[in-house]
Structure 1
């Protein structure tokens, strides 16, 4: 287990991210949540880059995650995922369960250089805020 003990290193996953656009930093972001963090970063960046979402929409979007981990892992889905999507997963043979609690927590800031402003997004699933100057 993840605990303090002699000869052990506790799990530590502080992994802030920076994204570049046109060779300049365009976004600063971070996702908390232990094992979910790397997956959360991928969700956030994919939502912004591939789907053109603004930072708040990318953070708000429903999440999926494999739990617990390893061979017996099952797909865990947030309650906010539409029933039609869940029906599609069942039709394709996926085994999943609806998570009781959300995972992760994200904050992100977009740097809008043309307008000279920062655009922040913050996690609605828990307390927090994104600050920049």
Structure 2
């Protein structure tokens, strides 16, 4: 069964969504795009804050890698530079995938095509990376995973 990837969101450390791309619509939107971006980041932030209090040990704080909400799953990672990447995919048939590796690939493309680009302003509202080389490259990468 192919892996269906619904959307990709990339956030700056302060919670500003720099990239939001829908590949396949999972459900009809019930809230505006900007409101959804805030809700997703707020949920991730709250869960990350809650995890240490749920951990049985205090030596190694737990990390949030995915949230399974059948039939959908949110896969997430935070880069060393503070970017939070969220990949929203179908839960069914996705257990054989290395989602950590896929998130690393997205970060690699992000770093190469956006962060290292001298024309990109990280403080620009909205990120301004739609319809760019990054957007085209990430679409190709995502489509290759769906096969």
Tell me, yes or no, whether TM beats 0.5: no
Q: Which has the higher strand share?
A: 1
Q: Which has the higher helix share?
A: 2
RCO higher in structure (CA 8 A, sep ≥6)? 2
> Taking structure 1 as the reference length, what is the TM-score of the superposition?
0.28
